[in-house]
Amino acid sequence: MKAVFVASPEGVIVKDVSAPYPKDDEIVVRMKVCGLCGSDLEKTTISYGMGSTRLGHEPVGEIAKVGNNVTGFKEMERVFTHHHVPCYSCYYCSHNAETMCDSYQLNNLEPCGLSEEFLVSSMHIQRGGVLKLPTSVTDEEASLIEPLACCIRALNKCDLKGIDDIVIMGAGPVGIMNALLARDAGVKRVILIDPNEFRLEFGKRMGFEVLHPINDEEKTRSIKDVLSGRGADLVVVATGNQNAFIQSLKMLRKGGSIVLFGVPARSSFVNIDLSFLYANEISILSSYAATEVETNRALKLLADRRLNFGSLITHQFNLENAESAFRCAHDAVDAMKVVIVNEKKK
């Protein structure tokens, strides 16, 4: 079967590998759709800041094989499978920091989510990593579960009650998802900032205010004038670009918060005036990944169909054309969310 891997030194390659076969406590899923995440793109570069370089963590498919001791799942059922699951019993899990669990990044899909078939471990099955899909949610929509879950986790950390103005740095798929969730939560004003004209127009069509990034420090500060003269209550940095983080500091109101959502490149150092942070009570949060709590919430939102997350998908590529898919997502000339489909005949 075919699977997609990071090529050396950069890019991706489609390889022929052996098809997986489950042990008694495992299942095998035949991938149907898998979304490309910004972190997948970053994994193809040598500067990626996290540990794993395994591609494809937004897979949807149907169960192809079921181990003899697995209960609750059967062949042909449509499922979404999360790539990481926490232990739910360690110190971090008991303190609502499940994605910091020591075992979280140690478990994954084999060989990866971007493969014709992948193996799902007993750990994933037992710890809520496999979600059955209702008929009301298409395969393409279900491929949005993981990124939407990450957005839900990030905004839950912020307590949006009483927040009037949010600026989102980065109008890509997760930027738009964060914007939709914030507006649905009652935030009065959401502004998207991105250098990509197509994505700004996309956000505008969805009813959001949009701005091009402003690099000049004095002009950046003038954005506060757009935001009632105070600045933003919250800035979500939905990009790994460190300049976006630096600019976000100048857009905040006193007592405002920043959420680091995008994955920064390795060794992304910035100089920060600690006196400024202290005197203005600036809070800096970060949010990494999601758990079954958020994936189930994401699935419920998709099934509800009220926020139309599915409209974010603009391009589909077959698995064997993965290199073109990655190039399309990276260039983003006319692309929002790019997904890879597995259309090989059974």
- CATH number of the domain that residue 200 is part of: 3.40.50.720
Lowest mean pLDDT among 70-79, 161-170, 316-325: 161-170
Tally of domains in the chain: 2
Per-residue pLDDT tens digits for 226-259: 787 889 999 999 999 999 999 999 889 999 999 9
Determine, yes or no, domain membership for 346. Answer: no
Give the model's confidence band at 169: pLDDT under 50 very low, under 70 low, under 90 confident, else very high. very high
Kindly tell me if the per-residue pLDDT of 344 is higher than 60: no
| Residues 6+ positions from 262 with CB-CB distance below 8 Å | 38, 170, 174, 237, 238, 239, 240, 241, 244
Question: For residue 12, what pLDDT is reported?
Answer: 95
Q: Which residue has the higher pLDDT, 216 or 39?
A: 39
Kindly tell me if the per-residue pLDDT of 188 is higher than 60: yes
Q: What separation in angstroms does the CA of 47 have from each of 14, 96, 290, 323?
A: 22, 29, 23, 19
Q: What separation in angstroms does the CA of 30 have from each of 23, 59, 316, 317?
A: 16, 9, 18, 17
CATH number of the domain residue 83 falls in? 3.90.180.10
Kindly tell me if the per-residue pLDDT of 161 is higher than 90: no
Lowest mean pLDDT among 181-185, 212-216, 261-265: 212-216
Kindly tell me if the per-residue pLDDT of 275 is higher than 70: yes
Question: For residue 9, what pLDDT is reported?
Answer: 73
- Average pLDDT on 105-126 reads 97
Question: For residue 45, what pLDDT is reported?
Answer: 79
Question: For residue 217, what pLDDT is reported?
Answer: 59
Determine, yes or no, domain membership for 110. Answer: yes
- Average pLDDT on 309-326 reads 97
Kindly tell me if the per-residue pLDDT of 265 is higher than 90: no
Determine, yes or no, domain membership for 216. Answer: yes
Task: Give the chain's radius of gyration (CA, Å).
Answer: 20
Average pLDDT, the chain: 93
Question: For residue 269, what pLDDT is reported?
Answer: 92
Statement to judge: residues 17 and 136 lie in one domain: yes
Determine, yes or no, domain membership for 303. Answer: yes
Statement to judge: residues 46 and 94 lie in one domain: yes
Statement to judge: residues 124 and 176 lie in one domain: no
Distance of alpha carbon 304 from alpha carbon 300, whole angstroms = 6
- Structural domain range at position 136: 2-149+289-341
Query: Residue 248's Cα: distance from chain center in Å?
Result: 20
Question: For residue 224, what pLDDT is reported?
Answer: 75
Kindly tell me if the per-residue pLDDT of 314 is higher than 50: yes
Instruction: For residue 130, give the nearest of 31, 34, 36, 27 by alpha carbon.
Output: 27
Kindly tell me if the per-residue pLDDT of 143 is higher than 60: yes
Asked whether the CA dihedral 241, 243, 244, 248 is positive or negative, the reply is positive
Kindly tell me if the per-residue pLDDT of 210 is higher than 60: yes
Statement to judge: residues 46 and 80 lie in one domain: yes
> Which pair of structure tokens corresponds to residue 316?
């589909």
Statement to judge: residues 97 and 202 lie in one domain: no
Statement to judge: residues 173 and 242 lie in one domain: yes
Classify 308 as helix, strand or coil.
coil
Statement to judge: residues 8 and 124 lie in one domain: yes
Classify 298 as helix, strand or coil.
helix
End position of a domain, from candidates 286, 308, 324: 286
Per-residue pLDDT tens digits for 40-92: 998 887 667 676 789 999 999 999 999 999 999 999 999 999 999 999 999 99
Kindly tell me if the per-residue pLDDT of 345 is higher than 50: no
**What letter does residue 310 receive in the DSSP assignment?**
G
Give the model's confidence band at 216: pLDDT under 50 very low, under 70 low, under 90 confident, else very high. low
Statement to judge: residues 138 and 163 lie in one domain: no
- Average pLDDT on 182-211 reads 96
pTM: 0.95
Statement to judge: residues 14 and 115 lie in one domain: yes
